[in-house]
Amino acid sequence: MNKPADFKGTNQTEVILASASSARQQLLENAGVRLAKLLPAALDEEAVKEALKQEGATALQVAETLAELKARKVSLSNPGCFVIGADQMLECNGIWFDKPVDRDHAAAHLKALAGKTHQLQCSVCVVKDGQRLWHHNETASLTLRALDPDFITRYLDAAGEEILQSVGAYQLEGLGAQLFQRIQGDYFTILGLPLLPLLTFLRHNEVLA
């Protein structure tokens, strides 16, 4: 695999991804963004989600809040850096889905989503010295085709543990493409990061040439 081109800008501000997501890391590095490090934020996401849900927040509002909280937390211990936070929520008919914890949970996700349209609500945020500089939200709509139990079993066998990193138990960039009947929305947003608006922000701040 060829190494991504180095499009280093004139600004020496370091960029940190407030996440342990290898998918988001790869998207950024493939686009020429040089990350100083990956630092997942120590954040009780489930508690935040539950509190916001009780307050009547939408799935998109939850994604935006979590993205900012992650970036802000990492930013406070990394002064002078651009810290990128991102989050994604899956909503289907008013029900919020979390990342599956094991294979059985993944199978249940796919069974529940099969034949239906769901929304991926995604938010990205950049924080510096504890202050939010910029954020962007996007929504994608995806329709899974009808899936029989045998297909779900074969898919999970072939996809392996990687699907546990996807909130919908699918990976569109791989075998997960076979699950879908229709997709409306930005490809990068579906993968978990609205990349193009983020690159525009980084160029405007001379992180990228």
| Residues that are catalytic | 87
Q: How many other CB atoms are there within 10 angstroms of residue 1's CB atom?
A: 4
Instruction: Answer whether 90's CB lies under 8 Å from 145's CB.
Output: no
For the chain, the C-alpha Rg in angstroms (whole number) is: 17
Dihedral pair phi/psi, residue 44, rounded to 5°: -85, 85
Dihedral pair phi/psi, residue 191, rounded to 5°: -75, -10
Distance CA 184, CA 203 (A): 27
Distance CA 145, CA 180 (A): 5
Distance CA 167, CA 176 (A): 12
